[in-house]
Amino acid sequence: MNRGRILIVDDSALLRAVLADTFRPAGFEVIEAAEGREALLAIEAGRPDLIIADILMPVMDGWALCEEVRRQEDLADVPFIFLTTERDVPKRIRGLDGGADDYVCKPFSKEELLARAEAVLRRSGRARPAAEAPDRMADTQPVAPITEVPPLSGHTDHIAMADLLQLLSMNNRTGVLNLSGESVGRIYFQDGQIVNAETQGVKGEKALFRIMAWPDVRFEFEMGTPARKVDRAITASTSNVMMEGFAHLDELRDLMAQLPHRGVRLRVPRSRLSKIENLPLDTTQRIILFNAAGRGALVAEILDTVPLKDLDVYHAISDLMTDGLLEVADEEVGHPAPDHQI
């Protein structure tokens, strides 16, 4: 039974797929568009019972789409929900003043969005319970069966890393998130939980937090169980590990502004080499000094060698430099590692 036709308008293919996965199992027919003009063409092909649209989109944004829908007499009563990361109150008011019926902020839970959509449909008199909904498929063109689901892909210019991870988690996804940014990386999901991550030879939370710091990332999500067995290296819930990760990055950002970047070579001053054995150092500090002895080591090499999270390693480097046990080497590095920006 068809409970109604919902038009989803967002320039993120991933978000459209997530929303479709939310509404189709609940009995709704879903139509998708990447921006406002494409949405208007979809409306010409079949009037929707509800429009859910992002605000910030190319070509025609959500504001313009809503205004155009409200200008057309035969569409003026179609319910409209804005879906956006915008949390600013004046802009919310603009959306409601412009004719929107509701305003839902990303990230969202699919249960909340479904409930809000059903509430808007009830208020408009368009709600149809699943058990009583008439079959409207005779009025529409037959839909060909989907034989292959394309991978979800995009760029963090269009959906922030935090929103991407939360959407995959909230929708109980299983699969591999392949990423390309400052390096290449993978994040593994099992039933919506992040179970492992890997990049630049490191794994687990250390890898996940490093990936979360990449400022410019292309991604592709491959749904399904990975071909090779993936050990569970991350046991905390996805929400908890993400909260820790962003707290980690806030502190790391401040610390990195004071320290050499990843492509700089550090070494132990020759005058201090003979005194290291007698100093009260912890294991992490001794590993760092061992790597930096003699010709020295790149900051990137130290970060990858020490098993602790990057923030803890940077703290140890900072302490050692303050104590005069590490210094920047004078020699030039032929091929420095990429700067780890945040």
pLDDT at 130: 55
Q: Are residue 234 and residue 301 in the same domain, yes or no?
A: no
pLDDT at 94 over 90: no
pLDDT at 238: 87
| Per-residue pLDDT band at 21 (split at 50, 70, 90) | confident
Instruction: Decide: 256 and 208 in contact? Cβ < 8 Å.
Output: no
State pLDDT tens for residues 283-338: 999 999 998 888 889 998 999 889 899 999 999 999 999 999 999 986 544 444 44
Residue 73 falls inside a structural domain: yes
In the listed set 106, 139, 172, which residue is the last one of a domain according to the structure? 139
Q: Is 85 helix (H, G, I), strand (E, B) or coil?
A: coil
> Of 133, 139, 132, which is closest to residue 2 (Cα–Cα)?
133
> If you write DSSP's letter for every residue of 103-171 in order, what string do you get?
EEESS--HHHHHHHHHHHHHHHT----TTT----GGGSPPPPPP--PPPEEEETTTS-HHHHHHHHHHT
Q: Are residue 131 and residue 23 in the same domain, yes or no?
A: yes
Percent of the chain with pLDDT over 70: 83
Residue 336 falls inside a structural domain: no
> If you write DSSP's letter for every residue of 191-204 in order, what string do you get?
TTEEEEEEETTEEH
Residue 25 falls inside a structural domain: yes
Query: Range of 176's domain?
Result: 152-256
- Within a 13 Å sphere around the CA of 210, how many CA atoms are in the beta-carbon half? 33
Residue 340 falls inside a structural domain: no
Q: Are residue 110 and residue 9 in the same domain, yes or no?
A: yes
Q: Are residue 181 and residue 292 in the same domain, yes or no?
A: no
Q: Are residue 124 and residue 17 in the same domain, yes or no?
A: yes
Residue 26 falls inside a structural domain: yes
Q: Are residue 84 and residue 160 in the same domain, yes or no?
A: no
| Per-residue pLDDT band at 7 (split at 50, 70, 90) | very high
Percent of the chain with pLDDT over 90: 40
| Per-residue pLDDT band at 129 (split at 50, 70, 90) | low
Q: Are residue 133 and residue 18 in the same domain, yes or no?
A: yes
Q: Are residue 320 and residue 247 in the same domain, yes or no?
A: no
Q: Are residue 248 and residue 184 in the same domain, yes or no?
A: yes
Residue 276 falls inside a structural domain: yes
Q: How many domains does the chain have?
A: 3
Q: What is the mean pLDDT of the chain?
A: 82
pLDDT at 97: 54
Q: Are residue 158 and residue 213 in the same domain, yes or no?
A: yes
State pLDDT tens for residues 188-212: 999 999 999 999 889 999 999 999 9
Distance CA 19, CA 32 (A): 10
In the listed set 256, 289, 316, which residue is the last one of a domain according to the structure? 256
pLDDT at 88 over 80: no
In the listed set 256, 285, 317, which residue is the last one of a domain according to the structure? 256
Residue 45 falls inside a structural domain: yes
Higher pLDDT, 152 or 32: 32
State pLDDT tens for residues 158-173: 788 888 898 888 888 8
Q: Is 33 helix (H, G, I), strand (E, B) or coil?
A: strand
CATH number at residue 60: 3.40.50.2300
Residue 338 falls inside a structural domain: no
Q: How many residues does the chain have?
A: 342
Q: Are residue 191 and residue 276 in the same domain, yes or no?
A: no
Q: What is the pTM of this model?
A: 0.58
pLDDT at 155 over 60: yes
